[in-house]
Amino acid sequence: MNRSTALLLIAVALAAFGIYRALYIPGMLIGPPELLLLIGFLLQAVFGIVAGVAVWRGARWASLVIILLGASIAATALIEVVLGIIAYLRALLDAVVAIIVTFFIAAYVRGQAAPSRTPNDER
- Of the CA atoms within 13 Å of residue 73, those in its CB half-sphere come to 27
pLDDT category at 113 given cuts 50, 70, 90 is very low
Give the pLDDT of residue 64: 96
Distance CA 109, CA 37 (A): 29
Distance CA 41, CA 54 (A): 20
pLDDT category at 114 given cuts 50, 70, 90 is very low
Delimit the domains of the chain by residue range: 3-114
Distance CA 71, CA 85 (A): 19
- State mean pLDDT over 79-99: 93
